[in-house]
Structure 1
């Protein structure tokens, strides 16, 4: 049986790697390293830097091109499932070609495999296809943890729940009922613009934990436009962007 390790690496900052993450990566027979196009070459370079400069071992590095998700599919989840099927087919081919029958293969996952990441779902697809896999997860520091640390804020108010959602859901459904704090991920459209900003504070960050980290905080009514323009400039400069934010309603 092949061991597939999904290793959380935080933002790619070597200081965020746990000793367990380093140990598992060093002991892997093969590390699969995705390429996400020229615009996101920095992300592949960070993974490659970790493999070549941080690890003491010499696992075989196998790079592959990431398939592009069709954003024009009428139903969002249908497009995502088709994309995941394509990724599973690539993984299956690479693992079958490069990993011995009782070997080990690792993938570096931004943040943590449990939080708005699909590597575990793709691993399930491989098992459903008949691959004999032992799936191992190494937790990593999430962008949400890095955001709250960078802004020196607690995620929740005293004794209150928090909801983690996406920009798409925030646009479609508005502010979720029953919570005063909302963490928003995967938002390419600054979906906070669709909310009534009255009494709402925002803590926003891009490239959190990386050298080019950008942070903005304040009342949504006062800093919302600044976040939109700053995000656009940062994305134009880098060719890509990873950002996240927390919204909180003040108690009335």
Structure 2
């Protein structure tokens, strides 16, 4: 039976994958890459470097899968956002299922290399489960965890994510448009197409921001949100223009003593 490996490869540095992941890479016959276009070619370039550095059995081949279009407008209501994500996942699932069926032999091992860890805001596992549920294509799959951008962010700023006895909240940016949830004073924000926190009028917040974490292009900014928000917006614009894409995340921390 076909076998698939979903391998977390960390936030970008080739050395931030686990020994377990390296062993998995060397079992693979076919690597499936999602092709996000020329503007984001650097993403697959990082995957190529991981293979070059860690794979010692050069018998593999690479299959590129086109990325379907998706509406990422910040103005989408929660209902329309879920519909847009559902439609995008269904389209992506069709491409992935076709690639597996046509490019992976019955006794071969395929792999998807997932940024960070497959369990944190990534669609691969849900899509594979959806394909299996249709009973049209049979395969087994397993998951190899990876370092997340959340961990890399904390390491870059040399901070713990939590304060003593307090929870950590991880959320997509659209959930903080009206501020941090009550009682959650340490919030990691992901999937932000802009810098949503710039619109928050909250002098109690400190931000720890990072882009291209753990790579040679890493950029970090930290400070009271009202003081550094403009600098982060400027940095995001400049870096996106420079690289053609940006991957960033940030921690917002509320200081109840600041009023």
For the criterion TM > 0.5, the same-fold answer is yes
Q: How many residues align?
A: 251
Is 1:115 the counterpart of 2:116? The answer is no
Counterpart mapping for 1:1-252 below 5 A: 1-58=1-58, 59-71=60-72, 75-130=80-135, 131-171=137-177, 173-252=178-257
Q: Per the alignment, in what secondary structure is the counterpart of residue 15 of structure 1?
A: coil
Residues 201-250 of structure 1 show CA distances to partners (whole Å, capped at 9, x for unaligned) of 11000101110100000111111111111111111111110010000011
Residues 128-148 of structure 1 show CA distances to partners (whole Å, capped at 9, x for unaligned) of 121222221100100000000
Unaligned runs of 5+ in 2: none
Alpha-carbon distance in structure 1 between the residues aligned to 2:210 and 2:41: 21
- Is contact 2:14–2:53 with CA below 8 Å preserved after alignment? no
Query: TM-score, structure 1 length as denominator?
Result: 0.95
User: What is the Cα deviation at residue 71 of structure 1?
Assistant: 3.7
Q: Per the alignment, in what secondary structure is the counterpart of residue 49 of structure 1?
A: helix
- Is contact 1:174–1:194 with CA below 8 Å preserved after alignment? no
User: What is the Cα deviation at residue 168 of structure 1?
Assistant: 1.1
Please, which moves more after superposition, 49-58 or 39-48? 49-58
User: What is the Cα deviation at residue 161 of structure 1?
Assistant: 0.4
Please, which moves more after superposition, 11-20 or 145-154? 11-20
Q: Per the alignment, in what secondary structure is the counterpart of residue 63 of structure 2?
A: strand
User: What is the Cα deviation at residue 86 of structure 1?
Assistant: 1.1
Q: Per the alignment, in what secondary structure is the counterpart of residue 47 of structure 1?
A: helix
Alpha-carbon distance in structure 2 between the residues aligned to 1:39 and 1:50: 20
Q: Per the alignment, in what secondary structure is the counterpart of residue 82 of structure 2?
A: helix
Query: TM-score, structure 2 length as denominator?
Result: 0.93
Alpha-carbon distance in structure 2 between the residues aligned to 1:2 and 1:201: 48
